[in-house]
Structure 1
Amino acid sequence: MTDAVRLDAVSKVYGKGQGAVAALREVSAAFTRGSFTAVMGPSGSGKSTFLHCAAGLDVPSSGSVRLGGTELAGMDETALTVLRRQRVGFVFQAFNLVSSLTVLDNVTLPLRLAGVRVDSAWLAEVVRRVGLEGRTGHLPAQLSGGQQQRVAIARALVTRPEVVFGDEPTGALDTMTARDVLTLLREVVDGMGQTVVMVTHDPVAASYADTVLFLADGRIVDAMAAPTSEKVAERMTRLGAWK
């Protein structure tokens, strides 16, 4: 299987009858293993719904979502929870760390929740790669925002997931710190063969990806390979994201 995640004709409708709102309309997309994809679009274009359906956080109204060889349709919430815990990593805008746990305990939390033994060699490798050596005994409040996001990335990687989903992972960071985190995500793809799918509103963030998908009104309306921040910004302006 070359695709880490595949969506086929995925639609998502919220509500019923006259109040129904279509957040996604027959969206198809495939994310190759070892690729970095940014998803962009104006506010209300369906970016978050797209991410949630692809990651098994939300169930499509119709269509198919496959994680590797596994079809998510028809799985109950318990099975989806196990799948997300074992095979998917998440990095959010709000770092979502447990304030009373050390860096090390935050990173290993998904393994403990799953009842999986910690592979100390892999844990050390992840900590080293995200640049947290010497910080593992700290609490989140003792870290900068960028360091906290590095903890979140390490937590996403420690289970060796098939794909890491980022929802505005640099949205709460200043420009220089955001650049460090984006460089780390790029290294995760290039150096570790990880697959990253990231929703962002920032053309500079999108320029770190291999491909950018553009959503508008719940549909994928364009894709851009080898993006630059200038080309992405220009395309977003034509989508009506910025006037």
Structure 2
Amino acid sequence: MTDVVRLDAVSKVYGKGQGAVAALREVTVGIPRGSFTAVMGPSGSGKSTFLHCAAGLDVPSAGSVQLGGTALNGMNETQLTELRRQRIGFVFQAFNLVSSLTVVENITLPLRLAGAGVDRAWLAEIVSRVGLEGRAGHRPAQLSGGQQQRVAIARALVTRPEVVFGDEPTGALDTMTARDVLTLLREVVDGMGQTVVMVTHDPVAASYADTVLYLADGRIVDSMTAPTSEKVAERMTRLGAWV
């Protein structure tokens, strides 16, 4: 499998002089196309910074980031915005839906912002895959939290992105609803060949991934394939996350 996202010696420093804080330190990793990767670590380990640099939301202080062979280094904010809009999907803990828009209008919003047409067959397939048939005309207030996150996932998929980044996508959901959403993300990878990179603090959420990357003090200190929630929790304890 080829890498859809590649970080080479990526460092990110916030601030200057004595107040400078290194959030990432020379991180090198590749994310294979068609894989599900979870990123874990203690609070302050650099998880969010990793996601922001990998997704072109933040510019590294050093090192390089590639998306599908395109180097993000040297791109200006306009170019990065266009790249994110066309080639990256985002799912956040807060669903970030527009309350005045229907389900379908929320899903297709990225296309309208980009001035692109809507492929009706693709839209119907996505709505079906995320289990929102019969809800297309509803507004967010008429949906449960789990349904709203399904809308957010559908919105992330509608542009056929090369990778979907999730920042604690199940953090605001109850346990049963979270499992439904994680099962959906797993199906997106297995059934649609999508690539998902998810930051999470939840060992159960991480167990749905193919690989777990562990961050501590801005570095990748370990990785785990075929994770179980028990193995993930045990490894996190040794990172000092829950001591």
Q: TM-score, normalised by structure 1?
A: 0.99
Cα deviation code 1:31-90 (max 9, x no counterpart): 110000000000000000000000000000000000001000000000000000000000
Counterpart-to-counterpart distance in 1, 2:137 and 2:146: 17
- What is the aligned-residue RMSD (CA, Å)? 0.6
| 3-state SS of 1:80 partner | helix
Cα deviation code 1:111-155 (max 9, x no counterpart): 000000000000000000000010010000000000000000000
Query: Equivalent residue for 1:130?
Result: 130
Confirm or deny that 1:48 pairs with 2:44.
no
Query: Equivalent residue for 2:227?
Result: 227
Counterpart-to-counterpart distance in 2, 1:3 and 1:127: 28
| 3-state SS of 1:9 partner | strand
Alignment of 1:1-243 (within 5 A): 2-243=2-243
| 3-state SS of 1:132 partner | coil
What are the ranges of 5 or more consecutive residues in structure 2 without an aligned counterpart?
Answer: none
Aligned length: 243
Counterpart-to-counterpart distance in 2, 1:29 and 1:164: 17
| 3-state SS of 1:232 partner | helix
Shift of 1:14: 0.2
Which segments of structure 1 move beyond 6 Å, counting only runs of 4 or more?
none
| 3-state SS of 2:23 partner | strand
Q: Give the % identical residues.
A: 88
Counterpart-to-counterpart distance in 2, 1:54 and 1:152: 20
Counterpart-to-counterpart distance in 2, 1:229 and 1:149: 22
